[in-house]
Structure 1
Amino acid sequence: MSSQFPWAHATHPDWRMSASLCLAQIERASRVGAGAGATLGFLYLTDHHAAEAADILAFLRERTGVTHWTGAIGVGIAAGTAEYIDEPAIALMLADFAPDDFQVFSGATPPPERLARTPDGRRAAWTALVHADAATPDLADLVHDMRGKLAGATVFGGVSSSRHPQTTIADSVLSGGLSGVVLSENVAVASRVSQSCQPIGPVHRVTESAGRRLNRLDGVPALDVLLRDMGAPDMLQRRATPAGAPTMPAAVQMLQGTFVGMGSGDAFMHGDYQVRPLIGVDPHERALALGSDLDEADHVVFCRRDRAAAQADLIRACTSLREQIESEHGGMERVRGALYISCLGRTGTLFGGPSAEMQLVQQQLGDLPLIGLYANGEIFKDRLYWYAGVLAVFL
């Protein structure tokens, strides 16, 4: 195989036609038989093909000779500068990792032990691409536990957005739980997360909260802090009701596009925090209601989610990734392939129109093999994200 992973994508109502078109692209890219030298296939399907997923997998395995496959099924998938949303489509990429440097896992096949070593002495469970079924109970806890099974620090992936019971691929088509592939220390991976938001103020310490209710920040009522960060600290006085709270129209307008980034420690320095929607206010207690529990988060930052913020944050993530690759790996020409898991909620107009998000990624990183999934939740490190984009590059 060439230094870059051969990859392909196609859309057609007949899965045989799509799969055949993909294999023809692979053969042209590699200038040899489809799958020659490949040991692992990455495969993403839209759920228009979910019922035929097992047939597609068998067809690709037979035609390429590649035994091991990992991937997921969703409402949308991505490839290159294109996105395929709610239409029949296939995207695949073939890698030539050494057989001892990866292991496909699922509920039936456990990953390597955390302290396992490859024959050359490197750590066998270093990174992992993880796909999950959204119907799995305690999914966030399972993702956290998966990180603990690795000797390295990187977990990346996403939650299937399939409307069909078939949701993930790990050497077979599966439903439920986690699956994916564990990679050894010999496989270099660089990854970043983009939140599609930008902070509108400083990071604040949580001083009083309960479940999804955020009462006080830095010792001040949370609503007051939000208004100050939004540049409207006098809104309570200027547009107050007799109870001393903003009018309902003002509060609704204030909430539109406002999110809360939650985390602890120095997570905010690296953009590594979870973003949840702000869903309401308690005007009398001047408290805020969030879209999920705060859990162990002890700091928050208020964010705006709009086109400019989404584009700026994705550029930030790509720039940071590119700088790491140039400083640690000798430049972008060392990139062999990439996976991009983005939230299904980021499609449409958030980035300016169809495929705008994928086009922005390739503008920032160059023309590289790139496929991915539009997910129902994104996985990065030991957390489950919403509204995020997770980019992983193989070097």
Structure 2
Amino acid sequence: MKLFPYAHATHPQWRMAAALVLAQLRAQMALPHHAEAPSLALLYITDHYAAHAQDILAHLSAELPEVTDWAGTVGVGVAANNVEYFDEPAMVVMLCDLSPDQYRVFSGVAPLVATGADATGFIPHTALVHAEGRTPDLAELIAEVADRTASGYVFGGLTGSRGASAQFALSSTGTMGGQGAASGVFHGGLSGVAFGTDVGLVSRVTQGAQPVDEERTITAVDGNLVLRLDDQPALDVLLDRFQLSLDDLEGTVARLRTTLVGLSDPLDVPPHRSPEPVALRVSGQFGADVRVRHIIGLDTARRGIAIAENTTAGTRMAFCERNVQAARADLTRVCAEVREELEPEERSLSLATSLAASDTEASPHPARRIAGAIYVSCSGRGGPHFGSPSAELQIVRRALGDVPLVGFFAAGEVAHHRVYGYTGVLTVFTMPA
């Protein structure tokens, strides 16, 4: 495996942006340490180009005939190493140096098999998922895709667009029988790329909100209406915590516009299969298992709080707020975790001897380096949240170094088997050092 060529460009005309991207890709493909004939491309465009999605895919695939498979989607912004393009016409492309037997592009006309290997013997270990947020039963569909992978872990994001949306999913393996020819551009549903066990991946979730209250247990709930917290009326708990009064409705509503809730599964429910350990809190911050949701209403008659997710009794909940310093610190932390995982494991002679039940256990973890990376961030993050243009991507660059990276700003981020909010999902492809 070699470094993944990647490119990014902005221009009012998509053809000019495509020409700039192609020039960058071809220049990198000619370099000795970069892939010269990759077969899989990831393509992300801002919603300014969404109406031209089919033309863009047709043009790029014709100009890069060696690339047989394409995947991607639309975002309100797109990202590359050290730069983001927010609210402007732009596109990013990364060419992945993977053997065709190591991945499968999937979509509604070429879905992943329900269990085990497909007709070619491919077994999905994990998957990059792109999804339309208005798809019915979306949470269940994402969990189903996760269940169709060996690890139970998927990553990606929801299409982000203020108008037309699109997903790219062009597969060299074709479509299901009876589906006919597919154009490679889809509207609605799920699509993406599944990766086999031979593809080295490290993935982390970084949170953008910080708890401002103790964690409580939901003890009564009706759909998305939380009725009781620790057996107390939920609305009374909220008003008491923030010293609010319904007599001052305007002030209460203004305060609640900046208040969110962080949800975690019940403690007695075993975590979904995941290659990443789940932590409830990290240094006073939310761990990767917490989903941040909006408060969308108050029920004064039932003394309840309406939140933007149907939940169940036993779920843990903490009031929280978005916090720039916490978001910066957590992004730095997950990048450091990724770097640490790529470094060789150093053991003392005595520890190595005590673990020497086998040669494999006694050997240090092999050093790896990054071939390419994908970063999916919330559309509410990015430069506007971090304080300056491209500040979020600059943090990633300082931590990971000058590595190939592309991504997009989504309407919701996918990690593990759930949809998150106000988070970033960083995934790197690794190769031997």
| TM-score, normalized by the shorter chain, greater than 0.5 | yes
Number of residue pairs aligned between Structure 1 and Structure 2 = 380
Amino acid at match of 1:391: L
Shift in Å, 1:187: 0.6
How do 1:16-55 and structure 2 match up within 5 A?
16-32=15-31, 36-55=36-55
Amino acid at match of 1:198: Q
Report the equivalent of 2:90: 89
Aligned counterpart in structure 2 of residue 352 of structure 1, from 373, 379, 387: 387
Q: Work out whether residues 205 and 426 of structure 2, in 8 Å CA contact, stay in contact via their aligned partners in 1.
A: yes
Report the equivalent of 1:58: 58
Amino acid at match of 2:10: T
Aligned counterpart in structure 2 of residue 338 of structure 1, from 351, 364, 373: 373
Q: Distance in 1 between matches of 2:75 and 2:344?
A: 35
Amino acid at match of 1:218: D
Q: Work out whether residues 221 and 313 of structure 2, in 8 Å CA contact, stay in contact via their aligned partners in 1.
A: no
Does 1:190 find its partner at 2:202?
yes
Q: Distance in 1 between matches of 2:135 and 2:250?
A: 39
Shift in Å, 1:7: 0.6
Aligned counterpart in structure 2 of residue 217 of structure 1, from 209, 229, 236: 229
Amino acid at match of 1:300: M
Does 1:275 find its partner at 2:292?
yes
Is the alpha carbon distance of 1:271 and 1:110 closer, same or farther for their aligned partners in structure 2, counting shifts above 3 Å? closer
Q: Work out whether residues 383 and 392 of structure 2, in 8 Å CA contact, stay in contact via their aligned partners in 1.
A: no
Shift in Å, 1:337: 0.8
Report the equivalent of 2:74: 73
Amino acid at match of 2:391: A
Q: Work out whether residues 49 and 90 of structure 2, in 8 Å CA contact, stay in contact via their aligned partners in 1.
A: yes
Q: Distance in 1 between matches of 2:247 and 2:327?
A: 28
Q: Distance in 1 between matches of 2:165 and 2:221?
A: 39
Amino acid at match of 2:155: F
Q: Work out whether residues 158 and 412 of structure 2, in 8 Å CA contact, stay in contact via their aligned partners in 1.
A: yes
| Partner SS for 1:59 | helix
Q: Work out whether residues 206 and 216 of structure 1, in 8 Å CA contact, stay in contact via their aligned partners in 2.
A: yes
| Partner SS for 2:386 | coil
Report the equivalent of 1:179: 191
Report the equivalent of 2:256: 255
Amino acid at match of 1:214: V
Is the alpha carbon distance of 1:118 and 1:100 closer, same or farther for their aligned partners in structure 2, counting shifts above 3 Å? farther
Does 1:114 find its partner at 2:115?
yes
| Partner SS for 1:125 | coil
Runs of 4+ in 1 over 6 A off after TM superposition: none
Q: Distance in 2 between matches of 1:378 and 1:296?
A: 25
| Partner SS for 2:384 | coil
Q: Work out whether residues 205 and 423 of structure 2, in 8 Å CA contact, stay in contact via their aligned partners in 1.
A: yes
Shift in Å, 1:31: 2.4
Report the equivalent of 1:201: 213
Shift in Å, 1:74: 2.4
Aligned counterpart in structure 2 of residue 313 of structure 1, from 322, 330, 340: 330
Shift in Å, 1:272: 1.4
Q: Distance in 2 between matches of 1:263 and 1:138?
A: 20
Q: Please identify, of 94-103 and 214-223, the stretch whose mean Cα deviation from structure 2 is larger.
A: 214-223
Q: Distance in 2 between matches of 1:134 and 1:145?
A: 16
Report the equivalent of 1:160: 159
Q: Which 5+ residue runs of structure 2 have no aligned equivalent?
A: 171-183, 268-277, 282-286, 346-364
Shift in Å, 1:35: 6.7
Q: Work out whether residues 125 and 151 of structure 1, in 8 Å CA contact, stay in contact via their aligned partners in 2.
A: yes
Using the size of structure 1 for normalisation, the TM-score is: 0.86
Is the alpha carbon distance of 1:283 and 1:133 closer, same or farther for their aligned partners in structure 2, counting shifts above 3 Å? closer
Q: Distance in 2 between matches of 1:361 and 1:173?
A: 30
Q: Distance in 1 between matches of 2:391 and 2:75?
A: 19
Aligned counterpart in structure 2 of residue 373 of structure 1, from 389, 399, 408: 408
Q: Distance in 2 between matches of 1:68 and 1:136?
A: 24
Report the equivalent of 1:169: 168
Report the equivalent of 2:13: 14
Using the size of structure 2 for normalisation, the TM-score is: 0.79
Q: Which 5+ residue runs of structure 1 have no aligned equivalent?
A: none
